[in-house]
Amino acid sequence: MSAKVVVIGSLNMDLVTRASRLPKGGETLIGQSFTTVSGGKGANQAVAAARLGAQVSMIGCVGNDAYGEALRGALLAEQIDCRAVSTVDGSSGVALIVVDDSSQNSIVIVPGANGALTAETIDRFDSVIRAADVLICQLEVPDASVGHALKRGRELGKTVILNPAPASRPLPSDWYASIDYLIPNESEASALSGLSVDSLDTAQAAATRLIALGAGKVIITLGAQGSLFADGQRFEHFPAPVVKAVDTTAAGDTFVGGFAAALAAGNDEAQAIRFGQVAAALSVTRAGAQPSIPALSDVQAFKTP
């Protein structure tokens, strides 16, 4: 069957430096390397879904600068439909990323053109949403646009996924009824629920609260500890595949894109979660955001060590 995914969200150029550790406040460190890599949570998830078997369309905005051309080109190279990627005056979004020797990262995002993605822009490309099976949103574009996209996805009967990243506060209460799958990580689940999430038990408590707020189902990604699924009736823990991590950038995006692609292809939730986990595990064995995202053949060939 066809597997069609539409991603509504951000496109950023990632400016990545590696250093032995993350700098402290007021400190200057000498870095080990610097690269520019196409990224942004929306674009990363679009690339992941495309590489992992889905037909993907992207709705977003880039600036009329060199980064904008590069960001669009990176999506086109993955056979992603970019007719709904608009070019606006000004700079494209950028993300300043520092990765340390333990593969942890620290990120500062400057939205740039992503701030120009409005409800009106989304409505211009309603036909793109109508053609999809699964709709994915994140939080790197204006909240009003995210809320509009979620509600439109619900109106059209699409499977709606929200990856609430980056999240530092609770979501608007009227969003939850439009969300089929809410997929936060530990810190995002803490911000949304008001509960500290640092174990499976606390993740269950946070998921229970998020479902009580109206989310259909919740998947909390727990890094090396795997994922917790909750639907209001039961919990299920999915242990993570064991790999040697090099760079965790875009691991969450890879999971979301892989999960969406697997769902759109007709897999059940458990199959889609395991598929997304293998894709994410493979991504952390490689450096960078989009360059680290595996292909479908990589996931199919993966065997647990």
Which residues belong to the annotated binding site for substrate? 12-14, 40-44, 140, 253
DSSP letter for each residue of 62-117: EESSHHHHHHHHHHHTTT-EEEEEEEESSPPEEEEEEE-TTS-EEEEEE-GGGGG-
DSSP SS3 for 151:
helix
Q: What is the distance of C-alpha 249 from the center of its chain?
A: 11
Give the residue numbers of the binding site for ATP: 185, 221-226, 252-253
On the CB side of 202, CA atoms within 13 Å amount to 14
- From the candidates 100, 253, 268, 298, give the one annotated as an active-site residue: 253
Closest CA to 52 of 222, 265, 285: 265
Amino acid at 213: L
Query: How close are the terminal C-alpha atoms of the chain, in Å?
Result: 32
In whole angstroms, give the CA distance from residue 79 to residue 55: 8
Q: Is 268 a catalytic residue?
A: no
Which residues are known binding-site members? 12-14, 40-44, 140, 185, 221-226, 247, 249, 252-253, 283, 286, 288, 292
Which residues carry out catalysis?
Answer: 253
